[in-house]
Amino acid sequence: MKKFNRDSEIKHCVIGAGVGVYLSLHCAMLNAHPQSEATGKEPVMLEAIEIEGRATDLIGIASSASQGIVGQPEFKYRPLARVGELVEVVPGALATQHSGTGKANQYFLRGFNLDHGTDFSVSVDGIPMNMPSHAHGQGYLDLNSIIPELVDKVEYGKGPYYAEIGDFSAAGYAKMHTMHKLTDGMLKFTGGEFGYYRTVLANSHKLGDGDLLYGTEVNFYDGVWQQPEDLNKYNGMLRYTIDKDDWGMAVNGKAYHSNWTATNQIPERAIAAGVIGLYGTGDASDGGNSSRYSLSGNFWNRSNSWKNDINVYALYSDLDLYSNFTGYIDQQNGDQIQQREHRVQLGGNAEHTRYDHWFGFEVDNSVGIQVRHDDIMGLGLNRTQARQLLTTVREDDIGETSVGLYIKNETHWLKKFRSITGLRSDFFDFNVDSRTIAANSGNKGAALLSPKLSLIAGPWYDTDFFINMGYGYHSNDARGTTIKIDPVTGDIASSVTPLVWSRGGEVGLRSQSVRGLNTTLAAWWLESNSELVFVGDGGTTEPSGKSERYGVEWTNYYQPNDWLTLDADFAFTAAHFIGVPASENHIPNSVGRVISVGATVDLPSGLFGSLRLRHFGDVPLNETASAWGGDTSIVNLGLGYQKKAYKLEVDLFNLLGSTANDIAYFYGYRLNNEAAGPNDDGSTDGIIKHPVEPRMVRVTASVRF
């Protein structure tokens, strides 16, 4: 690999500054302790680093075995049936769907049913994507506003060990970064079965001292369902970036809108009896529309002894969602609900890092602040029939403000031993104004401290060893912190703890001792004080007790030569409630096994291909484990040919034609005109499921200009 002297490497880092932890860590090591300038010694010779996805050498840089980076070179050939699958580049993460394409995916990681993001934090260009106190559920995480072709890299980490990561990150985090500029313009068109059409246009131009990048996406999809989905999705992005030797800035504007008709999960018993087809619907009027508009700015500057990173953002989002999850317990009107909100979000993050010598030890110190305010207006839950209002369950206006402060110290005690200690403090203020039940209005404040510690030894034989431990948390819905009256029954209701602590640890290793192979192994444990979350479908909260999770993860990324890449990730998890009998301690929808295996071929002739297996299983659906979700295995195949500026791709999803569950639940459901069941409300408990989409072909033609 080509060698650069230290000054050249620092310049390389400054040019790439502001794009995330990997470059920050790498640049910190380069910028720190500039003895050569002071002593007149020869410049330190360091190897140049290229971001190549998981092939990137993080030995001596990463702070845990569960931390990593995935670049565009890895996932540009990966067939993506939906944009939410971007999170699956995080080893062990899973994205499924139980409703329409325009709705946020369901996410699973480390034994958590994250619902739509409660304990998995995602940001895009510094803007947090998780929505607290959301109409559909706490931490709602909708990634549909992302254009995958314009994602430069995804940084990830698992566990509560990182001081700079706050709310919704007990299980892990992902930071997505869009590209600064494009080498060539791109026009891309995809057509496929079931009325799938998608067009992407993107380009960048030199403008003054910087680069102006623009991109747009239009997507239409009828779907595989008996009730056509009729998805209409529109995305746009405009970014201006300046990269100088020691400073830079970016201004980024994005716009997104979609509307769709949804097919939600239906009873397994109805499918078995032939009452509803596998791709049939329980309520043909489900669906919704969603919008998101954002403006953000990122600024950075650096010297040999310090660096600063700042970002500020403002966004508007709204959601109008109609869902019927239980069918016709109300035989006259059905059980459809409407969840809606309008939100303005303002915030920013700032971090200052200094590189010093303390008592002969190399020391990096960081201090940061993160501020966020959400104004949520017309946060409503209504009973509806065919999208027509019947009654209002509750409606609120919410102001929620959070401030996070953290300090982090990295000390190199020995040549092959370093520690990272961190302390994070978070302050929240919840202000709820109930339009329907005055007693549910109120103000609540909360604060907590989260210590972190990582010990890293190595490398020996290109292998690092890690011990990590720390506290994390997730916030609960603001409505749950002030609730006094159940809006459904009128009974007295108990409020919830505003902030819920989690604590965890892991031991692991990262090795590149075998040429071309990047492998990590981690054994981890995580305990949560409470599984309490606000249930947006019911307008109240439900306690589910203290929980414990532990598991083993083994990830492998192997490049035996320039044209072949193999990867295999294995995650095995056990999840249980604490303090209840073993026969009743299973955590519903905790995925116990996730396996992802793939091979990518990129030949000099222009031919390329990708074959991937995605498997998950060992999923209890209730506390007694009397119902299980079954195993799901999906194989996707992508083939293509690229010649100069032209590329043709054929993607075959669900190659083996699986009809397994994309997701399944266990609860009470009643069909229209069905006799009353054994439950008090007339429903019948059973498996309620949503299948994976059948085998389908999509063809993509693209040109670079």
Peptide bond into 459 cis (omega under 30): yes
Residue 244 φ then ψ, to 5°? -105, 180
Four-residue CA torsion sign, 235, 238, 244, 249:
negative
Q: How far is CA 361 from CA 280, 302, 414, 415, in A?
A: 65, 22, 8, 10
Report the C-alpha gap between 568 and 195 in whole angstroms. Answer: 33
Task: Tell me the pTM.
Answer: 0.90
Peptide bond into 132 cis (omega under 30): no
pLDDT above 70: residue 23: no
User: Mean pLDDT throughout 50-76?
Assistant: 81
pLDDT, residue 541, reads 52
User: Mean pLDDT throughout 224-235?
Assistant: 96
Instruction: Give the residues across from 9 on adjacent strands.
Output: none
Report the C-alpha gap between 243 and 238 in whole angstroms. Answer: 17
Q: What distance lies between CA 59 and its chain's CA centroid?
A: 25
Residue 229 in tokens:
């989905």
681 CB neighbour count, 10 Å cutoff: 12
pLDDT one-digit tens code per residue, 526-560: 999 987 544 545 545 566 789 999 999 999 999 99
Q: How far is CA 170 from CA 85, 342, 474, 590, 664, in A?
A: 20, 27, 7, 15, 24
Nearest alpha carbon to residue 308 among 319, 316, 300, 296:
300
Report the C-alpha gap between 667 and 327 in whole angstroms. Answer: 11
User: Mean pLDDT throughout 223-227?
Assistant: 95
Domain count, the chain: 1
Residue the block writes with tokens 């520690």: 419
Instruction: Give the residues across from 652 on adjacent strands.
Output: 637, 697
Residue the block writes with tokens 């953290």: 406
- Residues in CB range of 290: below 8 A, 6 or more apart: 102, 103, 142, 144, 256, 257, 258, 259, 317, 318, 319, 320, 321
Q: What is the pLDDT confidence band of residue 6, given thresholds at 50, 70 and 90?
A: very low
Residue the block writes with tokens 């299983």: 617
Does residue 372 or residue 4 have the better pLDDT?
A: 372
Does residue 483 or residue 540 have the better pLDDT?
A: 483
Q: How many CA atoms lie within 13 A of 540 on its CB side?
A: 16
Q: How many CA atoms lie within 13 A of 288 on its CB side?
A: 25
pLDDT one-digit tens code per residue, 369-418: 999 999 999 999 999 999 999 999 999 999 999 999 999 999 999 999 99
Mean pLDDT, the chain, integer: 90
Report the C-alpha gap between 528 and 516 in whole angstroms. Answer: 38
pLDDT, residue 25, reads 41
Q: Report yes or no: 501 and 473 within 8 Å, Cβ to Cβ.
A: yes
Residue 87 gets the label, from left (phi > 0), alpha (psi -120 to 50) or beta, of: alpha
User: Mean pLDDT throughout 433-450?
Assistant: 96
Residue the block writes with tokens 């067009």: 199
Report the C-alpha gap between 640 and 638 in whole angstroms. Answer: 7
Report the C-alpha gap between 241 and 248 in whole angstroms. Answer: 7
pLDDT above 50: residue 630: yes
477-481, 491-495, 535-539, 692-696, range with greatest mean pLDDT: 692-696
Four-residue CA torsion sign, 133, 135, 141, 145:
negative
Q: In 3-state terms, what secondary structure has residue 29?
A: helix
In the sheet that 684-691 helps form, which strands lie side by side, from edge to edge?
266-267, 684-691, 661-669
User: Mean pLDDT throughout 172-176?
Assistant: 96
Q: Report yes or no: 129 and 86 within 8 Å, Cβ to Cβ.
A: no
pLDDT one-digit tens code per residue, 256-283: 999 999 999 999 999 999 999 999 999 9
The pairing of beta strand 607-617 with beta strand 632-643: antiparallel
pLDDT one-digit tens code per residue, 359-370: 999 999 999 999
Q: What distance lies between CA 69 and its chain's CA centroid?
A: 14
Q: Greatest CA separation found in the chain?
A: 88
Q: Report yes or no: 663 and 98 within 8 Å, Cβ to Cβ.
A: yes
Range of the structural domain that residue 642 is part of: 3-704
pLDDT above 90: residue 51: no
CATH number of the domain bearing residue 68: 2.40.170.20
pLDDT, residue 73, reads 81
Q: In 3-state terms, what secondary structure has residue 368?
A: strand
Residue 566 in tokens:
């193999």
pLDDT, residue 537, reads 52
Q: Report yes or no: 288 and 317 within 8 Å, Cβ to Cβ.
A: no
In the sheet that 127-128 helps form, which strands lie side by side, from edge to edge?
68-71, 151-158, 172-178, 120-124, 127-128
Report the C-alpha gap between 258 and 582 in whole angstroms. Answer: 45
pLDDT above 60: residue 53: no
